[in-house]
Amino acid sequence: MYFTPPLARLIEEFQKFPGVGPKSAQRMAFYVLNMKAEDVAKLSETIVQAKEKVKHCSRCFHLSADDPCEICVNDRRDPSTICVVADSRDVVALEKTREYRGYYHVLNGLISPLEGRGPEQLTVRELVNRAPDERVKEVILAINPTIEGDATVLYISRLLKPLDVKLSRIAFGLPVGADLEYADEITLTRALEGRREI
């Protein structure tokens, strides 16, 4: 313990954050010491408030201060599609496109035997309960093309197949602006598989 204890404790707290090493934690702690006292009070309050107020929407499981969330209560959205994502950040990424107008369902993770996460830890059951709603025509799986993502897609599609609902998965291929020459083989394979007539 070379820093004075209250400072050492702060550095230690910051080091627990993901992606923050000892040097970054030091810089962050020194930044706090150089902030105005009122800004430090505001930061501390914002942290407590976020933890206290932000919950999962009981319908779609998106993070929200309201329940149901801002998206679920918006009745100008299209009730015929549910877009299934792993994480609330994916909802935000899709909302930024301003293209998708349906509702969401956040799984809160993907199936991962290695990390001991099975379907019962996810909100799969709640999705299966939502899907039979007669207004729902299509369930879009916007899930990463990883091993965990593929396993989750397989599991969900088996459960939803018996229901009278169209099931789709977002396209994988060459990202816009990318160079074919530098694309990896798996991306190219996916791009070939997903080819469309023009």
Chain positions contacting a copy of itself, by CB under 8 A = 2-7, 9-10, 13, 17-20, 24, 26-33, 35, 37, 40-54, 63-66, 69-70, 88-89, 91-92, 95-96
Residue 146 CB, shortest distance to a copy of itself, in Å, is: 18
Nearer to a copy of itself, 6 or 116 (CB): 6
Nearer to a copy of itself, 64 or 81 (CB): 64
By the 8 A CB rule, do 139 and 81 touch? Answer: yes
Distance (Å, rounded) from C-alpha 60 to C-alpha 65?
13
Nearer to a copy of itself, 1 or 180 (CB): 1
Joined tokens for residue 59: 């319908």
Joined tokens for residue 139: 């369930």
Residue 101 CB, shortest distance to a copy of itself, in Å, is: 15
4 three-state secondary structure: coil
Distance (Å, rounded) from C-alpha 188 to C-alpha 16?
38
Residue 77 CB, shortest distance to a copy of itself, in Å, is: 15
Joined tokens for residue 159: 């459960």
Nearer to a copy of itself, 53 or 166 (CB): 53
Residue 27 CB, shortest distance to a copy of itself, in Å, is: 5
Nearer to a copy of itself, 121 or 157 (CB): 121
By the 8 A CB rule, do 118 and 111 touch? Answer: yes
Q: ∠ at Cα 68 (64, 72), nearest 5°?
A: 95
Q: What is the DSSP string of 57-101?
A: -TTT--EESSSS-TTTT-TTS-TTEEEEESSHHHHHHHHHHT---
Residue 167 CB, shortest distance to a copy of itself, in Å, is: 26
Distance (Å, rounded) from C-alpha 150 to C-alpha 169?
10
Nearer to a copy of itself, 62 or 169 (CB): 62
Joined tokens for residue 55: 């919950």
Residue 190 CB, shortest distance to a copy of itself, in Å, is: 24
